[in-house]
Amino acid sequence: MLAIIKTSWSVRIKKIVIMFSLAAIFFSGFFVGYIAPAKAWAQIPGSISIEGVVVDEMTQNSISGVKVSFVYRDSIEMYIWCNEDTGVCVNYCTEPSYQEGNFCYTVAQEIITDANGYYIFEDLSFCDLNPLRNWWGDLEFSADNYNKKVIVNIDEACGQIVTQNIQLTPKEPDPVILIPGILGSWQREVCEINPLTNLFGCKLKYVPDPILNTYDSLWQALINAGYQKNVDLFAFGYNWRLDNNVTAGFLKQKIAEVKQITGKSKVDLVVHSMGGLVARAYIQSFDYADDVDQLIFLGTPQLGSPEAYEKYEALLSGYTDVINYVREKVVAVGQLLPSYDYLKKKEGENWIFRTYPTENYVQNTFLENLNLAENVSLLKQRVRLTNIVSDYKTNGTITAIRTVADPDTTDNKWLHGYPENYDNTATDQGLEYGTGDGTVPMISADGLPDVTKVLCEGGPLHSAMPTECQRHVIQALTGKWPAEFFRANIVQKMLLIYVHSPVKFQVVDQNGQVTGTNFTNSNGLEGIPESLFDQENGFVFIKNPINGEYKINVLGIDGGGIYGLSVDTVDNSGGQQSLAHGTIIAGEIQNYKINYDNTLSAPVVIEAVKTKISIDDMINDVKNVAAQNGFKQKNLDKILITQLNLAKRWEGRLAAATKDWQKKIYQHLILTDIRVAENLLKVWFKTKKIDQVSYDILIKDFNLYIQQYK
């Protein structure tokens, strides 16, 4: 049996209420059900009304939307919970009461001020008076961006209409930290004054998207709203390949640094996409230091995104070793996979959802843990939340994937199901679409229970939300809707060039400027205008590339082997990918080129540039030209091949020669026969016996071969 003792020190009376209930619930021997505390004095019938207007202390303008709460306040010493079996007694508040300091607070009634800042509590029935006529309760006034105000123990008698006009003091804004999403941070050398030491220096650090400038508009909008860089405006760039729980630890360090710089105890976090999951991982953890006031989401996949399935299972680019790299090294991609049913299987004529996680899903324990009911409740208790989402198109976001058995079990792809007809672009490729921001389905973006979503104006794409939703962010931070809208320079087009081991590479533009690895000393180069080189991961980005030829030079390292080269052309409508494969030995240099044309939507052609050629290579090219009907007269290919074979007989003797004078003779004989063949080709072109394309291929072969002997 449990005794509940409540002592009222104001009149020195003790009452004991004994609970007898078959429905009682016990936790660790203590009853956790709620009983309204007994009062130590008799109620006197009657009521009281309270009204007033709430205004801004600085401007004297009325404030709408202020929450006015009528609250009981009791000393925690008045709540004594005893276990009669053990004799142990404790003091704590029970729901719906909450504890602050040494008091228990119970919200009895709440109202919101109207458009004129007016509020009224009519005929309150909580008119309990002690012999000194003190009203038993407080009034609390709270609003975003204002300091909370409490009026305690109003000394009025029952039957009165009490006027309480209130002035609220604007709160000094908390420092803001911007947190990008996946792929939204890159390592750059940053030279600046350290706000902690006041010393100038340069160091490598992760910064928000220097490639597509995704966050530049929002950053400038925050500055326009009064924030100052490294004073009360900061960015948290991070290695998005890591486990988000690890990154959450780095976020804790960043917040501590910002608190030290600003002298403030709390910060506001503005988070885009996966950055919201990083913030949640910190705030919902045992390491949380009660140092976040507001958390403002922009398109955060609270429950994951089916789009991540394609990248996790196949990466779209198709290199087996890259897929393993993503699964094992870019852990965060797996943490973006949905933690709900999104894969479908066919039963008879119907497609039905496979059950998560038991029916061959990649299990996302990271999101499962974040979204446990008790952990979401913890999040809502610890911070103020604003969840900004976008409805881009009615059917513009992947929401489900129809899967079948993988037709190729040897390529290490689609281990958890192959999207139906995925390689047939004339179909929907097994991808089902619904509402969302183009990346995150609405069911996921709006996946926090009882948190009201804010629809972003214009319904932008996921990647455009930091720009297009900037006014919603400013309003959440300051309480004011900005009149100005800032749009930074937007990258319209981009070349993304990358390789996978065992090679290093460099890109050379039309003016001979180089971005990539310096093959002499392995340093990074960024000579091409508006280019960036991520040396750690082997990426070259060229923003707004100019039309013309770009050369790509590849250097074999680490014993050589098979490598892959990818060139992606990216614009506002999406991207096109081109792939090339090769085999290389350590120290060998191979060359490619592309011709970029920003008016074309097709993928660029990656063309291997030959630096050495044999007579056999030339003969093969002659045969290919003949097969493509490049010769306009019969037997020209046979004449050319016969002449090349005459030159080839001297190659064998050149290889066996030991004397320099012998080598010079054979080289001369080889070149004589090659030039005969070259002259034949030129005559045929003038007489239109070979077309332009075929002539260009073969004359290039002859020139390259002749160059080898100069």
Q: Is the pLDDT of residue 520 over 90?
A: no
Q: Is the pLDDT of residue 140 over 60?
A: yes
pLDDT at site 552: 95
CA distances from 218 to 206, 208, 214, 464, 471 (A): 18, 11, 8, 10, 9
pLDDT at site 227: 96
Task: Work out the average pLDDT over 353-363.
Answer: 95
**Tokens representing 159?**
């039957």
- Which amino acid does the sequence have at 291? D
Lowest mean per-residue pLDDT among 16-30, 63-77, 181-195, 464-478? 16-30
pLDDT band at 154 (very low <50, low <70, confident <90, very high): low
Closest of 435, 433, 437, 443 to residue 469, by C-alpha: 437
Q: Is the pLDDT of residue 85 over 90?
A: no
Per-residue pLDDT tens for 585-621?
888 888 899 999 988 877 888 988 877 788 888 898 8
**Which segment, 63-72, 162-171, 219-228, 640-649, is predicted with the most confidence on average?**
219-228
Q: Is the pLDDT of residue 25 over 70?
A: no
User: Burial, 437: exposed, middle or buried (Cβ in 10 Å; 0-12, 13-18, 19+)?
Assistant: buried
DSSP letter for each residue of 80-141: EEEETTTTEEEE---TT-EEETTEEEEEEEEEE--TTSEEEEEEES---B-TT--BS-EEEE
pLDDT at site 7: 35
Q: Work out the angle between the directed axes of helices 615-627 and 636-656 (0-180°, nearest 10).
A: 170
Per-residue pLDDT tens for 406-435?
888 887 788 899 999 998 989 999 999 999
**Tokens representing 446?**
């709006």
Cβ contacts of 422 within 8 Å, gap of 6 or more: 429, 430
How many residues does this entry show for the chain?
710
pLDDT above 90 as % of the chain: 48
Lowest mean per-residue pLDDT among 88-97, 170-179, 199-208, 442-451? 88-97
**Alpha helices (runs of H) in 314-441, residue ranges in sequence order:** 320-329, 331-334, 365-370, 373-382
Lowest mean per-residue pLDDT among 111-115, 273-277, 350-354, 597-601? 597-601
pLDDT band at 8 (very low <50, low <70, confident <90, very high): very low
CB 690 within 8 A of CB 630: yes
Higher pLDDT, residue 109 or 386: 386
Q: Is the pLDDT of residue 131 over 50?
A: no
pLDDT at site 152: 77
pLDDT at site 586: 86
Q: Is the pLDDT of residue 270 over 70?
A: yes
pLDDT at site 472: 97
Lowest mean per-residue pLDDT among 130-139, 356-365, 604-613? 130-139
Cα torsion 703, 704, 705, 709 to 10°: value is: 100
pLDDT at site 652: 81
Q: Is the pLDDT of residue 446 over 60?
A: yes
Query: How far is residue 487's CA from residue 512's CA, in Å, rounded to a whole number?
Result: 33
Task: Work out the average pLDDT over 384-400.
Answer: 92
Tell me the backbone φ, ψ of residue 698, rounded to 5 degrees: -75, -40
Tell me the backbone φ, ψ of residue 556, rounded to 5 degrees: -75, 135
Higher pLDDT, residue 8 or 79: 79
pLDDT at site 401: 97
Query: How far is residue 298's CA from residue 473's CA, in Å, rounded to a whole number?
Result: 9
Closest of 275, 211, 265, 271 to residue 240, by C-alpha: 275
Query: How far is residue 300's CA from residue 312's CA, in Å, rounded to a whole number?
Result: 19
**Which segment, 49-58, 296-305, 474-483, 530-539, is predicted with the most confidence on average?**
296-305
Q: Is the pLDDT of residue 120 over 80?
A: yes
Q: Is the pLDDT of residue 76 over 80?
A: no
- Which amino acid does the sequence have at 317? S
Question: If DSSP codes are grouped into helix, strand and coil, which group holds residue 561?
Answer: strand
CA distances from 138 to 71, 112, 203 (A): 5, 16, 54
Residue the block writes with tokens 């008790």? 374
pLDDT band at 5 (very low <50, low <70, confident <90, very high): very low
Higher pLDDT, residue 331 or 123: 331
Closest of 60, 53, 72 to residue 8, by C-alpha: 72
Q: Is the pLDDT of residue 534 over 70?
A: yes
Per-residue pLDDT tens for 646-694?
988 888 888 888 888 888 898 889 989 989 999 999 999 999 999 988 8
Task: Work out the average pLDDT over 53-60.
Answer: 91
Q: DSSP E strands: which ranges in 144-199?
A: 149-152, 161-163, 166-168, 176-179, 185-193
Task: Work out the average pLDDT over 210-220.
Answer: 91
pLDDT at site 453: 95
Q: Is the pLDDT of residue 56 over 80?
A: yes
Query: How far is residue 267's CA from residue 287's CA, in Å, rounded to a whole number?
Result: 16
pLDDT at site 20: 27
Helix, strand, coil distribution of the chain in percent, nearest 5: 25, 35, 40
Q: Is the pLDDT of residue 507 over 50?
A: yes
pLDDT above 70 as % of the chain: 87
User: Burial, 669: exposed, middle or buried (Cβ in 10 Å; 0-12, 13-18, 19+)?
Assistant: middle
CB 66 within 8 A of CB 145: no
* Beta-carbon-side half-sphere exposure of residue 419 (alpha carbons within 13 Å): 23
